[in-house]
Amino acid sequence: MKPFCIVLLFIGVSNFVNAQILYKEFSFGMPIDEAKEILQENSKSLKNIVFGNGTSYAFRKRSLVDHDGSLVSINIWSKKNLNLAQATQYLKKSRSHFESNNYKTVYAQENWSDPILVKKNLPCIRFIDPDSTVVIEMDPRGQGSVYNVFVTIYNYDWFLRKAKGKE
């Protein structure tokens, strides 16, 4: 009986490790079909996400990123198109929001708050949650008078493996 209990405990712990929360009900490694169901069932609440006063982000159909049928990251972007000044404010307000929630800024370009000066081939700004389980990246994209701010959420361990070329 003891070996059976140990095996069950091991399975439970490994499922917990693999089920690290990315955002609300979405967890790293969950089957992508299950994640799509959650997205569909909660579509209204996932279309008005606030990361700072005056910001509004939304999940879209393409927000869920999978690899081999498992959820590996989430992309959320500004609910509507922004002008340059609004995109700058989104970046500043969202950074303040994450930092006020004890996320640590681990990388930021020199001109992180100016979408025109952000280097396109590098991440704009990157945060890690207080428990080192989630990495969040923010990037402005656009040109001329139309911009969006993208927020990408990754599992911390997966992100490190990917950065080291092991994934």
Entry pTM: 0.84
pLDDT in tens, 56-80: 999 998 999 999 999 999 999 999 9
More confident site: 126 or 61: 126
151 has pLDDT over 60: yes
- Dmax (CA) for the chain in angstroms is 68
166 has pLDDT over 60: yes
Q: Say if CB 87 and CB 147 are below 8 A apart.
A: yes
Distances (CA, A) of 103 to 15, 115, 134, 152: 25, 22, 9, 14
The residue-averaged pLDDT of 7-34 equals 68
Rounded to whole angstroms, the Cα distance separating 58 from 10 reads: 37
